[in-house]
């Protein structure tokens, strides 16, 4: 259902508020450069520090600006099941193509708790749901067997954004789940390997600054041009590494500021990049050809 390069879009801020004008410009920039879908209010979108009103507004603006040209997978997950249901209902009513549901963070639920959490959300809405597995952020891994049970029991749970970094786990997901269940990479550096085991695409951080190359890498692989896709993978690789010198989205927002794409403003507890890391990032941007 969801394939290609889907951007994990940053949320631009200006003077402490969401910069709605810039948000619309970023969306247009992505679509013009071949991005297959927009994912607002995820980790890269600093959803954890958006108020409920801001969260809903960013999703509304995204859906309106995209205007059905590509899918919008709205980040509406929470560690509170009730809050996740409310955010997902709002996204559905606003016209989102799907919802991205991060595993509950901090609570560290059991696999049974994860199953019941996601099933409650799926039962409450009709739109497709993509699970988001990122134990490094949340403290809990959604096991492949749990994902497979959810895919079997909930017709609208249609895929998973896998950011475990574990290709063996991802292979187990593909092995256990229905053939049409979407495995989407959550790590830019693993996009090509994930495609090779049956993945459909990437929800990408680096696409915020290099959307065309990320989109083309996935397209070339899916067309069977493996050598071309591999070439783009290795071209992107140093830039991808630079995006994680510090905690995401600090580097990508800093890069966007350096490139004049948007203000590099972050919300606490995210802080400005250390000068020595900013120098490494600037060097990577220059070597890639994005910065003179």
- Separation of alpha carbons 124 and 86, rounded Å: 9
CA distance 141 to 109: 10
- Which pLDDT value is given to residue 1? 83
pLDDT in single tens digits along all 292 residues of the chain = 899 999 999 999 999 999 999 999 999 999 999 999 999 999 999 999 999 999 999 999 999 999 999 999 999 999 999 999 999 999 999 999 999 999 999 999 999 999 999 999 999 999 999 999 999 999 999 999 999 999 999 999 999 999 999 999 999 999 999 999 999 999 999 999 999 999 999 999 999 999 999 999 999 999 999 999 999 999 999 999 999 999 999 999 999 999 999 999 999 999 999 999 999 999 999 999 999 8
- C-alpha torsion 139→253→76→141, nearest 10: -20
| Closest listed residue to residue 130, CA positions, set 65, 199, 207 | 199
pTM above the 0.95 mark?
yes
- Residue 57 has which token pair? 């507004």
Q: 159 pairs with which residues across the strands?
A: 130, 182
Domains by residue range for the chain, with CATH = 4-223 (3.20.20.70)
pLDDT of residue 210: 98
Q: Looking at the annotation, which residues are catalytic?
A: 132, 161
């Amino acid at each position: 259902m969801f394939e290609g390069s889907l951007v994990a879009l940053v949320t631009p801020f200006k003077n402490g508020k969401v910069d709605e004008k810039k948000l619309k410009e970023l969306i247009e920039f992505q679509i013009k450069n071949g991005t297959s879908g927009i994912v607002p209010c995820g980790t890269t979108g600093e959803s954890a520090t958006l108020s409920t009103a801001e969260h809903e507004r960013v999703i509304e603006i995204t859906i309106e600006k995209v205007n059905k040209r590509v899918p919008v997978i709205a980040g509406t997950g929470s560690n509170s099941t009730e809050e996740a249901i409310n955010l997902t209902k709002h996204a559905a009513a606003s016209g989102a193509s799907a919802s991205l549901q991060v595993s509950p963070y901090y609570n560290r639920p059991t696999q049974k708790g994860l199953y019941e959490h996601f099933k409650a959300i799926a039962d409450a809405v009709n739109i497709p749901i993509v699970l988001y597995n990122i134990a490094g952020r949340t403290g809990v891994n959604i096991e492949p067997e749990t994902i497979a049970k959810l895919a079997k029991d909930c017709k609208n749970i249609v895929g998973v954004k896998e950011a475990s970094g574990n290709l063996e786990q991802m292979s187990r997901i593909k092995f256990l789940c229905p053939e049409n269940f979407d495995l989407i990479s959550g790590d830019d550096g693993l996009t090509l390997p994930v495609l090779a085991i049956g993945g459909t695409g990437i929800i990408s951080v680096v696409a915020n600054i290099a959307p065309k190359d990320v989109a083309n890498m996935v397209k070339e692989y899916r067309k069977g041009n493996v050598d071309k896709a591999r070439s783009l993978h290795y071209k992107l690789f140093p830039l991808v590494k630079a995006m994680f010198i510090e905690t995401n989205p600090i580097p990508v927002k800093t890069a966007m500021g350096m490139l004049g794409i948007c203000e590099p403003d972050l919300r606490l507890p995210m802080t400005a990049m250390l000068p020595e890391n900013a120098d490494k990032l600037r060097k990577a941007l220059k070597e890639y050809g994005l910065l003179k």
